[in-house]
Structure 1
Amino acid sequence: MRPLFHLAVPDDWVAAQATGRYERSTRGASLADVGFVHCSWMHQVDEVAAAVFADWDGELLLLQIDASRVGAPVREEDLAGVGERFPHVYGPLPVEAVERVRRMVRVDGAWRLQ
């Protein structure tokens, strides 16, 4: 399976490293609130960053996730009814499933990988 990607606020990632489990769904919502961790495929990352973090002034991280190491169901769904399917992890994300963490920065108003 190809890698999953998740945009994370650095403080949330630091907290996950302390517990071994990442339990944020998306900005401002937890796994407990939503029932899954929002993820995307690589080609969807820029669009998600622009939509969810348009007004975010802080640092942003992109977690690259090895789906085979997640240990929870991963479903590709179009829950918003927009004609595009996104992967969702239905359980906490083990820190050891994250194979790479990259910083994202704003360039001319858009989020870009650094």
Structure 2
Amino acid sequence: MRDDLLFHITTKEDWKTFNNSGSFEPESLDSEGFIHCSTGEQVEDTANRIFGDKDEILLLVIDATTLHEDIKYEKDADTGEKFPHLYSPLNTNAIIDKITIKAEDDGHFDIAFTTS
């Protein structure tokens, strides 16, 4: 997997609501001051921990080299793990893919990436 890829998990509804002319500004940008992201190694756990009550999620694949602002890696109080945070709107030209992922029959999201 490319080291310059980051992921933001959202819903189709939130994508439609917060996608504004060239930038994506989810609610967390206003309420917490940043946009939550995950690395490839973190994204499956994040999806299941935060979105476990959803039947479907939308995974935004982000090319971090094209972001208008730098990413800051900060420690999560619950997990102790460092997660990437973006302290500005997400410029939509940095989103290289949008993947709809449906929960498995057991409610678990299976997000597997192969390394190459």
- What TM-score, normalized to structure 1? 0.84
* Residues 1:92 and 2:89 are matched in the alignment: yes
Post-superposition CA distance 1:25-60 (Å, at most 9, x none): xxxx43011111000001111111111111124x31
SS of residue matched to 1:82: coil
| Aligned sequence identity (%) | 37
- Tell me how far apart the structure 2 counterparts of residues 14 and 52 of structure 1 sit (CA, whole Å): 20
- What TM-score, normalized to structure 2? 0.82
Q: How does 1:1-114 map to 2 (within 5 A)?
A: 2-24=4-26, 29-57=27-55, 59-80=56-77, 82-107=79-104, 108-113=106-111
Structure (1 or 2) with the greater strand fraction: 1
Query: Aligned Cα RMSD in Å?
Result: 2.0
- Tell me how far apart the structure 1 counterparts of residues 23 and 64 of structure 2 sit (CA, whole Å): 15
- Tell me how far apart the structure 1 counterparts of residues 79 and 19 of structure 2 sit (CA, whole Å): 33
The one-letter code matched in structure 1 to 2:30 is: A
Gaps (5+ residues) in structure 1?
none
2:67, 2:91 within 8 Å by CA — same for their partners in 1? yes
Q: CA deviation at 1:78?
A: 0.6
CA gap of 1:106–1:81, structure 2 versus 1, over 3 A, is closer
Question: Which shifted more, 10-19 or 89-98?
Answer: 10-19
Structure (1 or 2) with the greater helix fraction: 1
SS of residue matched to 1:63: strand
Q: CA deviation at 1:93?
A: 0.1
